Structures are given as C-alpha cells and as structure tokens.
Structure 1
Amino acid sequence: MSTPRRTHTGSRRNEQARAAILSAATELLAEHGTAGVTIDRLAAHAGVGRQTIYRWWPSKDAVLLDALVHSAEHAVTIPDTGTLHADLDHFLRATFEAAGIERNRRALITAAIAAQDDPSLSEALDNFLTQRRTALTNLIERARTRGEIPPTAPIDLAVEQAFGVLWYRLLFHPSALHADTATALATALTTQLRATP
C-alpha cells in the first residue's frame, strides 16, 4: 500500500512569513517611526529569522517601502463611478489620506532619500510610483474612451501634476496634505482636461 503524498506547503509558508513581515513593518513603523525599525526588531515581531527577511529584501528601507506598497494597494482602490471628476476625487482623496498618515509620510520620505544611493531601493520605489501613475492614467483614459474629454487631452501632464502636488505637499507642506486639497485638485484637473482644444 503506497503512502499518500504530503501536500507541499512551502510556498504557503513563505507567503505567510512574507505577510507577517509586512504586517510587522507597518505596525513597528506606526509605533516607533522609521528610525526605530531594525531588521532584528522586524524579525522578532514577525516571528521569523533575519535570513528570512534578507531572502526577499536587501535592506530595512526596502521592507518598509514594500509594506507601504502593500498598504497602498488596499487603501487606494481604482473607482469607476462613470464620471471623471468623481473618479479623480475618490482616487486622489484616498491617495492624499494614505500619504498623510504620519508613519507613511515619514517612510516615503526616508525611502526617497535612501533610494538616491541604493539601486535596488531606487528600482523598488520607481516600480511603486509607476504603478500609481499607471492606475491614474488608466482612470483618465476611461474618461477619454467615454468621450468625456477630448482625444487630445494631455493625460500624462495631468498625472504628473497630480503626483507633483502630492509630493510637494508631502515634502514641504504636510499640514496641507488632506482630502480637501485632493478634491480641489480633482476639480482643477477635470476642468483642464475637459477644456483641451
């Protein structure tokens, strides 16, 4: 009689460990700030070994950035209300609110600074920003498909303006990084896109 084959659970355990590390990074970031998060503290909080963390991330900052990406994917959904202004308002409000949380703001700034001298972190940050820009680009392109804005509407410029305002406030004027700013920005961008000659 043959022995039943055991179900392979390695990938599931790996995913559980990775999720535990990202969760630990988010919790420690909220509790201690970026300076208070270390690889040792992350490992202890997640219940894994240091080598498990280094299997997926080259540095602490890379873990924190990945935790922010994971959080953003859940906090900022892609709306489809049927109108450009409502979609922009929903997306930008959620984005500004998520970035305005102090632990997220500090982690984003830390990652942006560290990425200047860390190629792997720079690539991870660029992938994150590209993902966010693509999401907003697709949202606006839907409005063009509906005929809500002209075919010549400068979508790339509007996307750069949206994230330009976000990062300016993030870096230099964090007290203005709130939902009302996002709504005003959504209104301005909608007007600009619709008025394209």
Structure 2
Amino acid sequence: MAKAPNAARRSESSRRAILTATQELCGENGYRRVTVEAIAARAGVSKKTIYRWWPSKGAVVLEILDEAASITADPPDTGDLAADLHTQLTEVIGLLAPSHTSPAAGLIAEALQDPDLGRELRERVIEPRIAKFRERLRRAQQQGQLSPDADLDVALDLLYGPLYHRLAFHLGMPDPDYLDTLIAHALRSLTPPDSTN
C-alpha cells in the first residue's frame, strides 16, 4: 500500500523552492523588478502558498538575508583584529554587491519606505550581528588591541558607515586595498596610544 505524502516535507520543499526562486530572480533582474507572481511561477507554487508564509516580497528576501547572515553570524577571532575585520567586512560587501541585483541592497531600500519591514530587518538581522560585533571588539579591548575607553558604537559607525554610504550613493564597494586602508584608519582612532612614545 502506498504511503501518504509527507506534508511537512512537501511544505519545506515548496519553501526552499520559493527562497531559491527569489534569490535567482533578484540576481537576474534586480530586487525592484521581482514580483510575487514571478516568484510563484519560478518556484512552481501558487501566490497563495507564498502569502501563507510571508506577507510580502520583502519578507521573503528578509528570510534569505537572515539565513545568509546566520552562516557567518560570529565574527572571526584569529587574534589579528585588522584581518578579522577585513574578513567580516568583505562578507558584508559580498551581500551588498552588485547593488543593482543584490537582494540585500534591494531589501534595505524597501525597508526605508516600509517601517514594519525596517523593524523586522533591524530586529532579525542587524541587531544580533551588531551584538556579535561588539563582543568581538570587547575581546579586542581585553587583549589591549583597542583602547579600553573606545566607544564601540562609534567603532561600528566608523567601520560599517562607509559601506552603506558607498551603497546609497552608487560609489561602488571598496576593493580589498581600500578596505585595508579604511580599517587601518578606523583602528588608529580606537587604538591605545603607544606607551613607548
């Protein structure tokens, strides 16, 4: 006798198909041009299935971004703060570029106009990663790599602010050499003075 289909497996398969279709369509056409109808057609599901799990296209992309960010949620800690920051910021650049097809860049733009989506983005993706970033910098303070009184909120703005500035004004993401320079300048302002001087 044939077994009844596993509804949970079918649902997870549809969910994954929707996420994959959304990511592919964003990569091909850019976030702005992607519609729920196109996602449904690519995933082989109905619009009703999508709306059962997510209230909007932005919410689907938020889940993709949350999953992608969760893979690298903990900042690296090799003992070399500059190298670790380079690795971490390079991962962020990978999520944001190229800006015209990046699901993350499209989601950020939409979240500026949609307060509910903005709140979800902040609470699910941004704030947990900021907390991990602060933990990494606190360890650097304990190891004497950063000044004990370095303001970690200012450190966040010094390191991440240039990426979002460049994103907002279509200036292009920093290349590896420029990123090294940016990190060096930021760390110089946060590093304890050399006691041998």
Query: Equivalent residue of 2:172, what SS?
Result: helix
Partner Cα separation in structure 1 for residue 14 and residue 95 of structure 2: 25
1:85 aligns with 2:82: yes
Q: What residue ranges of structure 2 are gaps of 5+ in the alignment? A: none
Counting matched residue pairs gives 190
- Aligned CA distance change for structure 1 residues 109 and 179 (closer, same or farther; 3 Å): same
8 Å CA contact 2:74, 2:132 repeated in 1: no
Specify which of 106, 111, 116 is matched with residue 107 of structure 2. Answer: 111
- Aligned CA distance change for structure 1 residues 49 and 145 (closer, same or farther; 3 Å): farther
1:165, distance to aligned residue in structure 2 (A): 0.9
8 Å CA contact 1:40, 1:50 repeated in 2: yes
Matched with 1:170 is 167
1:30, distance to aligned residue in structure 2 (A): 0.8
Matched with 2:14 is 17
8 Å CA contact 1:100, 1:177 repeated in 2: no
Specify which of 95, 98, 102 is matched with residue 95 of structure 2. Answer: 98
Tell me: higher relative CO, structure 1 or 2? Use CA pairs within 8 A at least 6 residues apart. 1
- Encode CA deviations 1:12-52: one digit per residue, 9 max, x unaligned: 44333322211111111111112331111111212222122
8 Å CA contact 2:75, 2:88 repeated in 1: yes
Partner Cα separation in structure 1 for residue 92 and residue 113 of structure 2: 27
1:136, distance to aligned residue in structure 2 (A): 2.0
1:36 aligns with 2:33: yes
Identity between Structure 1 and Structure 2 (%): 34
**Quick one: which amino acid aligns to residue 15 of structure 2?**
R
Q: How does 1:127-146 map to 2 (within 5 A)?
A: 127=123, 128-146=125-143
TM-score, scaled to structure 1? 0.80
8 Å CA contact 1:25, 1:42 repeated in 2: yes
Specify which of 157, 163, 171 is matched with residue 154 of structure 2. Answer: 157
**Quick one: which amino acid aligns to residue 44 of structure 1?**
A
- Aligned CA distance change for structure 1 residues 179 and 75 (closer, same or farther; 3 Å): farther
